[in-house]
Structure 1
């Protein structure tokens, strides 16, 4: 599997603007700018897209591990906070709210940690990754 996305930027870093598009068409000429990245402007930014990718990847990986162990998740809801400091992504923190029947918390925590380490986006990121969860 191979996927792609395209970024087009026009102008200087502070006054310019860009558009992001993905192969699937989910993003099509989606606006991004200095303001949307570092202030409160309209549009997205690379860190927000990494947060979406990491939360989605981790959640699917956890679902796979749960299924392999015979547990069917009712719902996995993951928020990802990306921290950008001094020009580097310094942390990706995942906050998970999960509803999985008939699983002991210790087994669930083991699978959460396994997913945290093994989802492809976690493997890609060279930063501190942490997870906290609530299991209902």
Structure 2
């Protein structure tokens, strides 16, 4: 399964809104500018997130978007499913070899486990976690 820009930018939107909790609505223009993204593209992504009940819009001069739940209650899987569809690396066919079927199921379950076990709050505070090691740190 390849996560497209829809999923990646959707997580960007949701993380920005999560960082802004308690500070009022945040405009897509502000999110787009801060992340060097197209506001028009973000407008296309926010609609399904709103329809899924993950965000709500606030109208007016100081309007924008807010999360409908605490960032700890929204998972990366929630966002990816809305924007990308089911989390499934391949379509398992009934005539597939049982060993291959098992492989695809294990891959799907591993990806789902990571996405479902990662909240927006985890993503927002990733750099704050002292247990996270820099993947580019080499020890000799």
Q: TM-score, normalised by structure 2?
A: 0.32
The one of the two structures with greater contact order (alpha-carbon pairs below 8 A, sep at least 6) is 2
